[in-house]
Amino acid sequence: MVTNKRIYNWYIALVAAGCMVLTGYDASVFNALQNSHHWVAWFDEPGTQLIGLINSAYGIGAIVSGWFFAGPTADFLGRRLGMGIGCFVVIIATFFQCFAPRHNTGVFIVGRVLIGIGQGFASTAGPIYIGEITPPAIRGKVMAFWQLFYSVGSFLAYWVNYAAAKHRTSLGEWDWKIVVIFQLLMPILIIAQLPFMPESPRWYIQKSNSIEQARASLSKVRDTEQDVEDELLQIREAVEFEKEALASGKKAYFTLWQDASVRKRLGLVFILNMGQQLTGQGTLNSYSSTIYKKIWASADKINLINALNATFGILFTLNAAWTVDRFGRRFLFIVGALGMAMCMFLVAIVGLKTPNVNGTKTESVGIAIVFLLFLFIFFYKPSWGATTWIYTSEVFPMNVRAQAVGMASQMQNVSGTIFQQFFPTFYKNCGLKSFFFFVTTDILLAVYVFFLIPETKQRSLEEMDVLFGGANHVEQGAEMMGVKDPRHSHREGDFEPAQKAQSSAEVEVIEARR
C-alpha cells in the first residue's frame, strides 16, 4: 500500500536527485555549443586541444571540490546545505559562461571550472541524502532516478538547443547564450525547496547525537512508530561503534586508508566510477556532435539526433527502477557492459566497412550507426549509468560516507577529464577505429564485476560492513550501548541493567519518548 509518507519520501528524494539535472545539462550544453557557428566564431574557432581543455575544465573544478571540500561540508553543515551551496555556485557560474566577452575564452573556462565546483558539492551531498532518507526496500529504485535526472538534464539542454538553432538567424549570438542561461532553472528550483525538506536523520545522530531531531525526520518518512524506533536504534548503534572504534570528521580521511574494509570498498568503487566514463558514454555526451559530423552534413539533423538520444535516455533509465532490486547490481553491471561492447564493436565495423560519400556516410549507413548508438544507451543507462551511483552511495559506513562518496564519484571526472582532453585529437586521427578502445574497456569491466564486485541489493546501510569483511557496526554498537536486540526497538528492556546505570540520562530520554 502506498502511503502519504512514502509519497513524501519519494518527493524529497527526487528533489535531491534534481542535483543530477545540473550535471546532465552541463555535459550536454558544451556538446551542443560545438554545433553553433555563432559560439565557434565568438571564441575564435577553438582547435581540438582548446576544445578538450574547455571540456576538461569542468572536471578539474569537480575533482577539487568533490575530493577536498564537498564531503567535509556535507558532514559539518548537513546534506541539505551541501546541495544548496552547490546549486548557488552553479548559478554564479552560469553568468560567467553566458556573458563571457567575445574572444575571451578564459572567462568561459572560469565558468566551466565554477560549474564543476558547484556540481562537485551537489553530486556529493545529493546521493548521500537519498541513501540516508530512504528505506532499503526502495533505495535502489529511488537512486535509479539519480541517473534518470542526468538524462532529464540532457533532454532539456538538447531540446532547448534544437529550438534555438531553428531560429539561429533571428537570435544571432543568443542562439547559444539561451542554451547556457537556461541552466539557471534547476538550481533555483532546488534551492527554493530545500528549507522545507527534513535533514538526514543519520546526520543528526552523527553530528550532535540529536535523537529527537533524528526521530522527527524519520517520522516524516516512515509509516509506523516501530519503523522509526527500529531504524533510529540501528543508526545510533552504528554511529556509536564508529565514534568509538573509527575516526570521523576531518580524521575520516585517515580511516579511508587505514581501515582495510573501507580501503577495499574505496578501491572497488574507484574503478567502477572511472570505468563508467570510459565505457564510451562520457565521450558521446561531450563529443557526439563531433562524431556525427563525420556521418551527417546537416547541423539541424545532428541537433535533432542529440535531442532524441536524450529523450530515449530518460525512457531507458527507467528500466533501472524495476530491475536494480529485482535482478541486483551485479547483473546490471555485467549485462550492461557486454551489451555496450557489442554496440561499440558494430558501430566501428559498420563505419569502417562502408564508403564515404562527399566526406560523410550515406543516409542508410547513418541511420544504422545512430540506431546502434541508441542501443548503446539502452544498455548503459540502467546499468553503468544508474547502478554505479546506487552502488557508490550505499557501500560506505556513516563516519566516512560523505568523504568516500565525494572522492569516488569524482573519479568519474578524473578519468573523464584525462580521456576527454585527448579524445578530439584521437578521433581526428583514428576516426571510428577509436571505438575499439571502448569495446575492450567494456569487456574488461564485465570481467571485473564478475570476479570482484559483491551484491548489495536489499542490504541496510548499517550492515554493508560485514559484506566487505568489516565488523558489524550495528551489533558492535549494540554491545557498547548494552542493547539486547540490535535490530528492533522494544517498548521496554532495550538496555542491560549495567548500561542503564552508566547512561541513565540518555535512556530516560528514550524511555520518555516511548
Residue indicated by cell numbers 581526428: 428
Per-residue H/E/C for 6-53: HHHHHHHHHHHHCHHHHHHHHHHHHHHHCCCHHHHHHCCCCCHHHHHH
Residue 428 is inside which H or E element, if any? helix 401-430
CB burial of residue 318 (10 Å; 0-12, 13-18, 19+): middle
Mean pLDDT of 402-423: 85
Mean local confidence (pLDDT), 314-338? 92
C-alpha 450, offset from chain centre: 23
Res 507 pLDDT > 60 = no
Residue-level pLDDT at 126: 93
Please compute the mean of the pLDDT values over residues 144-159 and round it to a whole number. 87
Statement: residue 5 has pLDDT above 70:
yes
pLDDT tier at 66 (50, 70, 90 boundaries)?
confident
Question: If you count them, how many residues does the chain have?
Answer: 514
Summarised one tens digit per residue, pLDDT across range 87-106 is 999 999 999 999 999 999 99
Residue 375 has pLDDT above 70, yes or no: yes
Burial category of 218 from C-beta neighbours within 10 Å (exposed 0-12, middle 13-18, buried 19 and up)? buried
The residue ranking higher by pLDDT, 407 or 245, is 407
Contact 419, 56 (CB under 8 A): no
Q: Average pLDDT in the 142-155 region?
A: 86
Give 202: exposed, middle or buried? Use CB within 10 Å, 0-12, 13-18, 19+: buried
Of all residues in the chain, what percent carry a pLDDT higher than 90?
44
Grid cell of 269 as nine digits: 568503487
What pLDDT does residue 413 have? 84
Q: How confident is the model at residue 512 (pLDDT cuts 50, 70, 90)?
A: very low
Q: What average pLDDT score do residues 110-129 get?
A: 93
Query: What DSSP string describes 386-427?
Result: HHHHHHHHHSS-GGGHHHHHHHHHHHHHHHHHHHHHHHHHHH
pLDDT in tens, 184-226: 999 999 999 999 999 999 999 988 889 999 999 999 999 899 9
| Section 485-492 average pLDDT | 63
Read off φ and ψ for residue 459, nearest 5 degrees.
-95, 140
* Mean pLDDT value across the chain: 86
Give me the DSSP letters along 327-354: T-HHHHHHHHHHHHHHHHHHHHHHHHHS
Arithmetic mean of pLDDT, 6-25? 93
Distance in angstroms (rounded) separating the CA atoms of residues 93 and 155:
21
User: Residue 432 has what DSSP assignment?
Assistant: G
Q: Which residues, listed in sequence order, are joined to residue 483 by a DSSP beta bridge?
A: 495
User: Concatenated DSSP letters for 278-316?
Assistant: HSSHHHHHHHHHHHHTTT---HHHHHHHHHHHHHHHHHH
Question: pLDDT tens for residues 238-261?
Answer: 888 777 665 555 566 676 777 888
Q: Long-range CB contacts (< 8 A, 24+ apart) of 170-176?
A: 172/38, 173/38, 173/42, 175/36, 175/38, 176/32, 176/33, 176/36, 176/38, 176/39, 176/42
pLDDT digits (tens, 9 = 90+) for 275-318: 999 998 877 877 787 778 777 778 888 888 888 988 998 999 88
- Under 8 Å between Cβ of 159 and 310: yes
- C-alpha dist (Å) from residue 487 to 89, 230, 244, 483, 507: 41, 6, 20, 9, 17
CA-to-CA distance for 28 and 279, rounded, in angstroms?
Answer: 17
